Amino acid sequence: MSDLTRRHVLAAAGAAPLVFAAGSALAQTAEGQPMPAGAAPQPAPPGERMGWAIVGLGSYGINQVIPGFADARQSKMTAFVSGNPAKARDLGARHGVSRFYDYANYDTMKDNEAIDCVYIVLPVGLHAEYTIRALEAGKHVMCEKPMASTSAECEAMVAAARANGRQLGIGYRVHFEPHNREALRRIKAGEIGAMRYIQCDHGFNASLDYPPHKWRLDKVLGGGGSMYDVGIYGINTSLMMLEGDTPKAVSAIYAYPRDDPRFAEVEGGIDWRMTMASGINVQGSSSYCYGPYASRQRYFGAEASIIMDPATTYYDNALAIEGGGQPRREIGAGNSREQFAAQLDGFSEAARANRPHLTPGEMGLRDLRLMEAMYRSADAGGAVIEL
Ligand code: NAD
């Protein structure tokens, strides 16, 4: 072996020695190189990212919100708020979070400068209280959809944000989802011609045995039924694609088995229509009785239509264009998973600049007013409610 000018011998237990001889490519010394051209954008250093407290460590919080921070560049988790300290500490150890609060000492977050933004991921009936308390503690707040149980609560939340000079955003992640952003871009570019009609269906089969569904079937905690939980995707996403247009009238009809014991407090299904100032009708359904899962939007234009099925899921949305004299084309728009980090960073940037988020509290209030009008219509057997 002494005839080699430079070599390394690595002997793994039970394996033949590996000899890297000078002159072979493998004998080159490892050394630093410049940042690769085209390297992916890197996160800001931790000290420059906005610090977030996550309030409510349930299924959406743990499965979607927390993983979203792994891809975020402007946002980092600095605190967990939970009524279950063991769960919070266990998750904290796994995610590098070391500050913990519960619902009693919640307001003391005001003294923690490591918390810039608070993310409310609690059942709907608790959104208003914990959003307002966080705003009064001087924090910017991202609140999950639907914004609250009533439009009166939403108004109080918007007023609290203004009074405290803080931003309030609503967790309408679809605005940050690549397929939906691409659909919006193509609609705006005129690729389907003038919009004529939008159809949307959202639903799943609710189970009283599954805790995250249990509170959704409880009026106080859920606020409303399927319309609040999933119908809101149809309303909000359609309005996203109809930017600049305004709803002028709504009507709705309940659509679910009235003897189903799951729906003693909230509606199991509702079919609705929203007429825009332009005359375009948006027609949708939302249900807790659909199996397995419906999440679809269809945009009918004068020349072509966009089909999104699924349209508003976490990981696997699809976008296709049909018509315009061409066969149906599937459009790849990116990875739906990106929406979680994009939403976090979008809010961090808005909070840092103290300017309104893409999906602000006022948008959540608008949607609550629309849903309340739809319930009024359904209660009246489908009467048209002028807005
Ligand atoms: P979940 O039941 O899994 O989690 C709720 C959390 O709130 C749990 O950690 C629970 O311990 C806590 N909590 C505190 N007080 C409670 C009480 N009195 N009753 C019940 N739970 C209480 O629910 P989830 O599915 O994670 O939904 C949480 C929020 O996130 C809701 O506002 C929901 O609409 C929203 N969400 C949004 C999306 C989305 O795609 N944007 C998806 C799912 C849920």
The model's pLDDT over 218-251, given as tens digits with 9 standing for 90+, comes to 999 999 999 999 999 999 999 999 999 999 999 9
Q: Whose CA is nearest to atom 42 of ligand 1?
A: 60
- pLDDT given for residue 326 in this prediction: 87
User: Does 145 participate in catalysis according to the annotation?
Assistant: yes
Q: Band of the pLDDT at 11, cuts 50, 70, 90?
A: very low
Which of the following is catalytic: 106, 119, 130, 145? 145
Q: Is 121 in the pocket of ligand 1 (CB under 6 A)?
A: yes
CA angle 88, 89, 94 (to 5 degrees): 100
Ligand 1, atom nearest to 215 Cα: 20
Task: Find, among 155, 169, 174, the residue nearest to 234 by Cα.
Answer: 174
- Which residue blocks in the chain are alpha helix, DSSP H? 59-60, 66-71, 85-95, 127-136, 151-164, 178-188, 211-214, 219-222, 226, 232-241, 338-353, 361-379
Question: What does the alpha-carbon distance between residue 288 and residue 149 come to, in Å, rounded to a whole number?
Answer: 18
The span from the first CA to the last CA of the chain, in angstroms, equals: 89
- The structure tokens 């394996």 sit at 15
3-state SS class at 239: helix
Ligand 1, atom nearest to 144 Cα: 32
With beta carbons less than 8 A apart as the criterion, state whether 252 and 234 touch.
no
Q: Is 72 in the pocket of ligand 1 (CB under 6 A)?
A: no
Return the exposure string of 53-63: e unless at least 16 CB atoms fall within 10 Å of the residue's CB, then b. Answer: bbbbbbeebbe
Which of the following is catalytic: 228, 233, 299, 375? 233
Q: Whose CA is nearest to atom 35 of ligand 1?
A: 144
DSSP 8-state symbol, 62: I
Q: Which residue out of 57, 87, 122, 133 has the highest number of ligand 1 atoms within 8 Å of its CB and is therefore the one to mutate?
A: 122
Q: Each residue of 50-93: pLDDT tens digit?
A: 999 999 999 999 999 999 999 999 999 999 999 999 999 999 99
Give strand pairing partners of 273.
251, 283
User: Does 101 participate in catalysis according to the annotation?
Assistant: no
* pTM, entire model: 0.94
Q: Is 83 in the pocket of ligand 1 (CB under 6 A)?
A: yes
Span 92-101, average pLDDT: 98
Structure tokens at 163: 């009074």
